[in-house]
Amino acid sequence: MTNMGRRGFVKGATLGALAFTVGGVEAIMAPGEARARNVPFRLLDAHQGETLEALGETLVPQAREAGIAHYIDQQLSVPPHEALLQARIFNVRPPFADFYRTAIVSIDESSRRILGRDFAQLSAADQREFVGRMRQNKIEGWTGRPGAAVYAVLRADAVDVVYGTMEGYEALGIPYMPHITPEKRW
Amino acid sequence: MTNEKVDVVIVGAGASGSVYASVLAKAGKKVVLLESGPDWQLTDLISSEIWGRRVKPAGAPILLEGKNPMAYAAQGGWGVGGAALHYYANFPRLLPTDFRMKSEHGRGHDWPIAYEDVAPFYDKVAREIGVSGDARAEEKWRPAGEAYPMPPMKTFRNGNIWLKAFEASGIPMVPAPVGMNSVEFKGRPACLYDGWCHVGCPIGALANPQVTYLGEARKAGAEVRAWSTVTRVLTNPAGTRVTGVEYYDDKHQKQTQEASVVLLAAWSAQNPRLLLNSATDKHPKGLGNASGLVGHFMMSHHVASTWAMFDEDVQNHMGTIAVQYMSYERYPKKSHDGAFGSSFVTAGFAVKTTDLANSRADLYGPELADYMKRAARNLAGIKTFGEEQPNVENRVELASEKDEFGMPLGRLIHSFDSDAVALWNANFEEGLNVARASGAKEAWSARGTMPTSHLLGGTIMGTSAANSVVNSYGQSHELPNLWVAGPGIFPTEGASNPTFTIFALSQRGAERMASQWGTLTN
Ligand SMILES: Cc1cc2nc3c(=O)[nH]c(=O)nc-3n(C[C@H](O)[C@H](O)[C@H](O)COP(=O)(O)OP(=O)(O)OC[C@H]3O[C@@H](n4cnc5c(N)ncnc54)[C@H](O)[C@@H]3O)c2cc1C
Ligand code: SF4
């Protein structure tokens, strides 16, 4: 076999942070940075982005700032076999965008019916309560994929952006110890 | 387009296909492996929970149904190396009782071979690719064999912390055998205990196909064609022999690869899907399917995970993703009152952030954030794998919906029966008792959806076409030059992780194929 060397010797990662489009030019940056720089979404509209941010933040604090919506948006724009989304592991059939779009519609429909406004406009306490019921499939009249599945996939994505990065490990005090370091700390 | 005829075409460059490729290429055969995914290199194995997802299937062409649908993507592989590119390399073996289920218990099937037929191949595989463990310690439960070529792996507090409680519960734990290097082995370095195995070990400390069988096969001249998806096995007009396969290349062009022998090594659901899709007027139910059993008796393991939070720092970032300790004490099929089947008890493993979050899947918001901080230092786990009995209703069939190549999707229907559920519950109860005896501050069972781990059956072995699809070597009862490899040929599953047995059976089958070559090609 080829001797790949010990930890730290291998710098083979050609894939780093994600490719975002800024002013028509592709730039590589972490999703949190893309959010901070107001990079336009590729596929999501503003409302979908806002809903994913609100949902992500309810599931995992700091997911908004970590760029959950930009992360999902960018990942939906690449071919499914290149996507890093947890939808893949949960056996969601591509195109993955269908899953997220339907989830947002189901959430907003229920939110409007029960609480009179879109999910993103609810108070943090109401968002939290709503997500708790969604997790247990306890929202009456819910349509589309089961609430528990929406909870599991979105929670997993939010865990990724907040905890799955090198910064996330650092924040938890867990030594990262990579063999092949993800470029730009991804 | 037609390619030059080869001796053997292997469908799938994963665990089982790699063994055949190595043995046959070294025996001088011209071997081509067709693999539907990319040709992963060690440099692709980025140490990241997020980037590691690239090496998993995305939207596999299998519909997942039943009461307990298979966790297909989490359990599967895609691309050169298959699932074994990123497996955990836990290498327990089956025990003699697994081969005699029908005669000992009147349940499931007997294998057409005994433990003793496979045992020399366990030893051979261990010598070939390297296994670390303590064979003598295991021999309190199984017949003696060769010592493993490497001493056991290092252990850490997240494993050692359980030992006293297991002992008090009457479950002796011994070092777990793993396909990883505790010391340098055949030029491959020793493990660094950083726990990145599940996204692939790029230094070669873990026995993935790239650094073992497949590397050897390539050296001996085997050709690997990535991005090549096989859709049909072809037969001669008389329907007496297979002649090759049809596949689609990276440009979605249809190609034909003729071969003297066809080996299906595309994992347990894809192999029957291919056989069923290869029906002809001579084989109207699909190839090798006179028994009507192609696609039936699909099996999976259930897993009872027990988690506990300790006061002390258990260093859960240290170790490998494989387990440190194991026990066959609950392997006898009637170990638990009111339940049936083997259980394989394990403890101690490194965890990453996904595991930390999944260990309390009910938590979200500030409670999750708080939990993650505590779990990062203080969480440790026990996992008990349990056996499911073969059930003819658990099956793969063809769906009416088609994939991108016009091939019908597979439909994999899987439900655990009441025996499996009872065993899962018994294993939870025992796990919780052990955790409570360990001095943990909190302990809980990770219930929720009943997990499915590993996928077996669908092309089971047996004595004849009346009761099975292939013989004990993986050779079709009906078409002598059509062979099948992998966990799909297991007629019962035991509770042990399957891949050490997959390698052993593949080594045995490949040697048989090479030694009987004259009878296959005339
Ligand atoms: C995360 C994880 C952890 C695991 N841990 C363990 C463990 O600790 N111990 C253990 O014993 N087992 C473990 N396993 C299971 C182990 O990896 C499998 O049992 C083993 O790889 C199965 O071998 P196989 O040859 O049948 O299939 P694979 O190794 O999956 O290879 C099949 C290959 O066929 C290809 N293929 C499929 N269809 C086609 C087609 N139509 N045309 C061309 N190619 C095709 C696939 O892309 C794949 O590469 C683990 C698996 C996973 C995913
Ligand atoms: S823990 Fe060991 S086997 Fe696993 S990835 Fe690291 S070096 Fe490889």
Name all domains of chain B by residue range, CATH numbers in brackets: 1-45+53-63+75-130+207-294+458-522 (3.50.50.60), 138-206+298-389+415-451 (3.30.410)
Question: What span, in angstroms and rounded, lies between the C-alpha atoms of A135 and A149?
Answer: 8
* Predicted pLDDT at A12: 33
Residue A154 lies in a domain: yes
Residue with tokens 């195995």: B197
| For ligand 1, mutation pick of B18, B44, B88, B355 (most atoms within 8 Å of CB) | B88
Question: What span, in angstroms and rounded, lies between the C-alpha atoms of B60 and B171?
Answer: 40
> Of ligand 2's atoms, which has the minimum distance to the CA of residue B350?
1
Q: Is the pLDDT of residue B258 over 50?
A: yes
* Predicted pLDDT at B452: 98
Q: Is the alpha carbon torsion for B54, B58, B64, B67 positive or negative?
A: positive
Instruction: Mark which residues 30-59 of A lie under 8 Å from B by CB.
Output: 58-59
Is B73 an 8 Å CB contact of chain A? Answer: yes
pLDDT in tens, B92-131: 999 999 999 999 999 999 999 999 999 999 999 999 999 9
Q: What percent of chain A has pLDDT over 70?
A: 89
Question: Best of A2, A4, A166 to disrupt the B interface by mutation (most B CBs within 10 Å)?
Answer: A4
Report how far apart, in Å, the C-alpha atoms of B287 and of each of B153, B187, B201 are: 44, 43, 38
H or E, element range at B258? strand B254-264
pLDDT in tens, A71-126: 999 999 999 999 999 999 999 999 999 999 999 999 999 999 999 999 999 999 99
| Nearest by Cα to B296 from B320, B269, B323, B318 | B269
Mean pLDDT check: name the lowest of A14-23, B398-407, B448-457.
A14-23
Q: Taking residues A11-21, report their average pLDDT.
A: 57
Residue A161 lies in a domain: yes
Residue A4 lies in a domain: no
pLDDT in tens, B53-85: 999 999 889 999 999 999 999 999 999 999 999
Residue A178 lies in a domain: yes
Is A68 an 8 Å CB contact of chain B? Answer: no
Q: Is B272 in the pocket of ligand 1 (CB under 6 A)?
A: no
* Predicted pLDDT at B522: 62
Q: Which of A3, A82, A160 sits opposite B50 (nearest CB)?
A: A160
Nearest CA to ligand 1 atom 27: B267
Which domain covers residue A70, as residue numbers? 42-185
Q: Is B79 in the pocket of ligand 1 (CB under 6 A)?
A: yes
Give Cβ neighbours of residue B450 (< 8 Å, ≥ 6 apart): B68, B302, B416, B421, B424
Nearest CA to ligand 1 atom 38: B266
Is B51 an 8 Å CB contact of chain A? Answer: yes
Q: Is the pLDDT of residue B505 over 80?
A: yes
Q: Is the pLDDT of residue B291 over 60?
A: yes
Q: Is the pLDDT of residue A142 over 80?
A: yes
Q: Taking residues B432-451, report their average pLDDT.
A: 96
Q: What average pLDDT does the structure give for chain B?
A: 97
Question: What span, in angstroms and rounded, lies between the C-alpha atoms of B5 and B450?
Answer: 46
Question: With an 8 Å Cβ cutoff, are B46 and A182 in contact?
Answer: yes
Q: Is B320 in the pocket of ligand 2 (CB under 6 A)?
A: yes
Tokens of A3: 């001797």
| Nearest by Cα to A6 from B189, B195, B194 | B189
Question: With an 8 Å Cβ cutoff, are B53 and A85 in contact?
Answer: yes
Q: What is the ipTM for the molecules in this complex?
A: 0.95
Question: With an 8 Å Cβ cutoff, are B73 and A59 in contact?
Answer: no
Residue A148 lies in a domain: yes
pLDDT in tens, B192-217: 999 999 999 999 999 999 999 999 99
* Predicted pLDDT at A19: 83
Q: Is the pLDDT of residue A7 over 80?
A: no
Question: With an 8 Å Cβ cutoff, are B74 and A89 in contact?
Answer: yes
Residue with tokens 């996928």: B455
* Predicted pLDDT at A105: 97
Q: Taking residues A150-178, report their average pLDDT.
A: 96
Question: Best of B203, B211, B214 to disrupt the A interface by mutation (most A CBs within 10 Å)?
Answer: B203
Q: Is the pLDDT of residue A1 over 50?
A: no
Q: What phi, psi does B426 have (nearest 5°)?
A: -65, -40
* Predicted pLDDT at A26: 82
* B148: helix, strand or coil: coil
Q: Taking residues B10-36, report their average pLDDT.
A: 98
Residue A118 lies in a domain: yes
Q: Is B509 in the pocket of ligand 2 (CB under 6 A)?
A: no
Is A13 an 8 Å CB contact of chain B? Answer: yes
- Report yes or no: B393 and B413 within 8 Å, Cβ to Cβ: yes
Question: With an 8 Å Cβ cutoff, are B353 and A80 in contact?
Answer: no
Q: Is B85 in the pocket of ligand 2 (CB under 6 A)?
A: no
CA of B15 to the centre of ligand 1 (A): 6
Q: Is the pLDDT of residue A10 over 80?
A: no
Question: What span, in angstroms and rounded, lies between the C-alpha atoms of B271 and B265?
Answer: 7
- Identify whether B92 is preceded by a cis peptide bond (ω within 30 of 0): no
Residue A101 lies in a domain: yes
Q: Taking residues B163-172, report their average pLDDT.
A: 98
* Predicted pLDDT at A183: 65
> Of ligand 2's atoms, which has the minimum distance to the CA of residue B192?
7
Residue A117 lies in a domain: yes
- Report yes or no: B88 and B324 within 8 Å, Cβ to Cβ: no
> Of ligand 1's atoms, which has the minimum distance to the CA of residue B90?
8
Q: What is the DSSP string of A87-126?
A: GGTTTPPSPHHHHHHHHHHHHHHHHHHHHSS-GGGS-HHH
Mean pLDDT check: name the lowest of A23-27, B353-357, B408-412.
A23-27
Give the bridge partners for B395, in sequence order. Answer: B296, B413
Running DSSP on this structure, what letter comes out for residue B55? G
* Predicted pLDDT at B356: 98
Q: Taking residues A59-69, report their average pLDDT.
A: 97
b/e B215-247 (16+ beta carbons within 10 angstroms → b): bbbbebebebbbbbbbbbbbbeeeeebbbbbbb
- Report yes or no: B497 and B454 within 8 Å, Cβ to Cβ: yes
Instruction: Mark which residues 320-379 of B lie under 8 Å from A by CB.
Output: 353-354, 356-357, 361-362, 364-366, 368-369, 372-373, 376-377
Is B184 an 8 Å CB contact of chain A? Answer: no
Is A154 an 8 Å CB contact of chain B? Answer: no
Instruction: Mark which residues 258-317 of B lie under 8 Å from A by CB.
Output: 317
Is B442 an 8 Å CB contact of chain A? Answer: no
Query: Per the structure, how many domains does chain A have?
Result: 1
Residues of A in contact with B50 (CB under 8 A): 84, 160, 164-165, 182, 186
